[in-house]
Amino acid sequence: MLTSDYDPACLPDLLPLYYRRLFPYSQYFRWLSYGGASKNYFQNREFSFTLKDDIYVRYQSFSTQSELEKEMQKMNPYKIDIGAVYSHRPSQHNTVKSGTFQALEKELVFDIDMTDYDDVRSCCSAADICSKCWTLMTIAIRILDRALRDDFGFQHLLWVYSGRRGVHCWVCDEAARKLSVAARSAVAEYLSLVKGGEETVKKVVLSDPIHPFISQSLIVVEHYFPQYAVVEQDLLSSKASVDKVLSLVPDDILHYKISVKELLNIYQTEKNPMKRWEQLCRYAVQQKRTSSKKGAQYFDKEIMLQYCYPRLDVNVSKGVNHLLKSPFSVHPKTGRISVPIDLKNLDKFDPFEVPTISLICEELDKPLTAEEEDVKDKESETESGERRKIRDYKHTSLAKYVKLFDHFLDAMARSRKGEMLKKSGLFSLDKHDPPIHIDDDPAKCVNLLSHVSLSHYRHKDDAVFIRFSLD
């Protein structure tokens, strides 16, 4: 049996191995190049490394995949952050005229951190998480993923476990990467329902009409709430937690005092938390019928949202030049790899099953099965080091996460190809579609060609097109 026990003291020894044999460079490069559609997209991207002793180096950039590999293997960063695509190479930011070095594009990102839920978790606090409160992350992902797709029309969302106590989302659609700061903050605010700091008790207030986005989010919350909040978090079992819940019932509504008193009376005899919750909901229903006051009638929903709705760090999403921890970076405290999350099996995702760097490094030394050995022999004679590296991660627990990443990249490549064809008008059978448009940028044309195989050419002007673009 392999042990996944991770000791932070070993990190300096494990990192070189990880960066030499396991880190998925080719996928990583493929991701950040985005099909090479815009010039220097990868080259102008900022990376920042956190080295041993919290030494922080910003504005790293690399011109090729192999430069990135070499540099990472040399520096062995404890943590990697990804920043924006700039107007110039970030590594040369000091040499360009002040004011002209600017962040141009970046994925739209979201950062959800369990510490922001401290006032509504009873199981853990601060950086600790357990399988109970992890449900909060599941809810967050479901709600945000739906809204980003259905409401905002984004398609390429990469959800990543942060390695410790939260999740990140990278929205990679071209439209998302091009969003202005103002647009990013508008999206983040649209998605934020829980408002207020330490000086606010009631953090969710609903008013008529309930926006479709909120109704959709409520469906998700209502699904998880009874089991998660009432049963697992003991929402209505102790006096303190009951008081806390009842403090969220607005105090200026009709019959409030009577209701709460009655509720407390019932709670004297009724100890079952689920039944207690049902009682509370019954009062909410009654309230809806008798109260003419606007807004006061949703307190059951407001309670559910305050306890379960995703809490976003708006500032992370807002900035184009804000840095966020990179996928496949290692978390120095837990040793866990920041891996993509499979939304198809979201409810089964268990952060404690995510491989640690010590586990996968150990797996590297694990003797190969006879079969694997066989394949290896054959391949290693003919293939380059690059191929060997691919196989290296393939027989560790990292493999399935890299595969997820591959799927994500494939889907992005497919829609790029679709877009490209649509734009070129090359294969459009509809006469009304725009005719072939030869781009003035030869690089783009070549690029376009590389995305279509010759057998697809149907246009009689294809020959012209090809000659033109290769000129």
Among all residues, which ones are annotated catalytic? 46, 111, 113
Are 60 and 91 spatial neighbours (Cβ–Cβ below 8 Å)? yes
- Residue 124 binding Zn ion, by CB under 5 A: yes
| Tokens coding 50 | 């956190």
Q: Is 151 in the site for another protein (CB under 8 A)?
A: yes
Binding region for Zn ion (CB under 5 A) out of 2-10, 120-128, 163-171, 323-331: 120-128
180 binds, among Zn ion, another protein, none (CB under 5 to 8 A by kind): another protein
Distance CA 307, CA 120 (A): 6
Q: Is 57 in the site for another protein (CB under 8 A)?
A: no
- The rounded distance, in Å, linking the Cα atoms of 98 and 396 is 47
Site string for another protein, 86-105 (x = CB under 8 A): ------------xx-xxx--
Element (H, E) at 83: strand 79-86
Region of 335 (left: φ > 0; alpha: ψ -120 to 50; beta: rest) is left
- Which is nearer to Zn ion, 133 or 193 (by Cβ)? 133
Nearer to another protein, 181 or 258 (CB): 181
Asked if 443 and 433 count as a contact pair (C-beta separation under 8 A), the reply is: no
Applying CB under 5 A, the span of 118-126, 220-228, 245-253, 329-337 interacting with Zn ion comes to: 118-126
Cβ closest to Zn ion, residue 125 vs residue 315: 125
The residue with tokens 């998480």 is 129
Assess 146 for contact with another protein (CB under 8 A): no
Backbone φ and ψ for 371, nearest 5 degrees, come out as -60, -50
- In whole angstroms, the minimum distance from the beta carbon of 249 to another protein comes to 13
Q: What residues from 260 to 299 belong to the interface with another protein (CB under 8 A)?
A: none
**Residue 20: which residues within 8 A CB-CB, separation 6 or more?**
73
* Residues from 380 through 439 that contact another protein (CB under 8 A): none
Please give the Cα distance from 118 to 366 (Å, whole number): 41
**Nearest to another protein of 149, 391 (CB atom):** 149
Cα separation of 300 and 311, whole Å? 19
Q: Is 123 in the site for Zn ion (CB under 5 A)?
A: yes
Task: Give 120's contacts (C-beta < 8 A, 6+ positions apart).
Answer: 233, 306, 307, 308
Binding at 123: pick from another protein, Zn ion, none (beta carbon under 5-8 Å per type): Zn ion
Contact mark string toward another protein, 185..214, x via CB under 8 A: xxx-xx---xxxxxxxxx------xxxxxx
Nearer to Zn ion, 23 or 134 (CB): 134
Among 65-73, 282-290, 313-321, 412-420, which window interacts with another protein (CB under 8 A)?
313-321
HSE at residue 141, side-chain half, CA atoms within 13 A, is: 25
Q: Which is nearer to another protein, 181 or 464 (CB)?
A: 181
Question: Given the DSSP bridges, would you call strands 79-86 and 324-325 parallel, antiparallel or unpaired?
Answer: antiparallel
Count Cβ atoms below 10 Å from residue 119 Cβ, excluding itself: 12
The entry of Zn ion, another protein, none near residue 288 (CB within 5 to 8 angstroms by kind) is: none
In degrees and rounded to multiples of 5, residue 373 shows phi and psi of -55, -45
**133 belongs to the binding site for Zn ion (CB under 5 A):** yes
Question: Residue count at the site for another protein (CB under 8 A)?
Answer: 52
**Which residues ranging from 111 to 140 are in contact with another protein (CB under 8 A)?**
115-119
Over its C-alpha atoms, the chain yields an Rg (Å, rounded) of 26
Residues 105 and 178: beta-carbon distance below 8 Å: yes
Q: Write down the least CB distance from residue 126 to another protein, Å.
A: 10
Q: Give residues in contact with another protein (CB under 8 A).
A: 54, 98-99, 101-103, 115-119, 150-154, 175, 179-183, 185-187, 189-190, 194-202, 209-215, 251, 311, 313-315, 318-321
Residues in contact with Zn ion by the rule CB under 5 A: 123-124, 130, 132-133
